[in-house]
């Protein structure tokens, strides 16, 4: 099965990224193909693919963008076909 996991920031210092990494490892051990989608990342998951989506580098714009991401129709239409490939 192809599984996509989404997390805002994939880092060693955030709990949601650590849980995502643990889930990815367990799913890979179960024979699944796993990819992690993130807005930004400080490290790479073990045995899983990491796909970064674009996000502004400025701290102020970064915070604003995370609030309005769901209104960015262009990006949603661009990424939706990639998400449909996964279960």
**Does residue 66 have a pLDDT over 80?**
no
Give the sign of the dihedral formed by CA 45, CA 69, CA 3, CA 51: negative
Q: What would the CATH number be for the domain defined by 2-84?
A: 3.40.50.2000
Q: How confident is the model at residue 82 (pLDDT cuts 50, 70, 90)?
A: confident
The tens digit of pLDDT for each residue in 3-58 reads 999 888 887 788 888 898 889 999 999 999 998 888 888 887 778 888 888 777 78
pLDDT of residue 29: 92
Helical H runs in 1-87? 15-29, 59-68, 73-84
Burial class of residue 17 in the structure, from the number of CB atoms within 10 Å of its CB (0-12 exposed, 13-18 middle, 19+ buried): buried
């Amino acid at each position: 099965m192809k599984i996509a996991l989404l997390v805002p920031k994939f880092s060693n210092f955030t709990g949601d990224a650590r849980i995502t990494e643990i889930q990815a490892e367990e799913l890979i051990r179960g024979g699944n193909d796993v990819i992690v989608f993130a807005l930004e990342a400080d490290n790479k998951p073990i045995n899983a693919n990491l796909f970064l989506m674009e996000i502004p580098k400025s701290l102020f714009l970064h915070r604003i963008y995370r609030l309005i991401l769901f209104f960015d129709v262009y990006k949603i239409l661009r990424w939706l076909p990639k998400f449909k490939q996964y279960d």
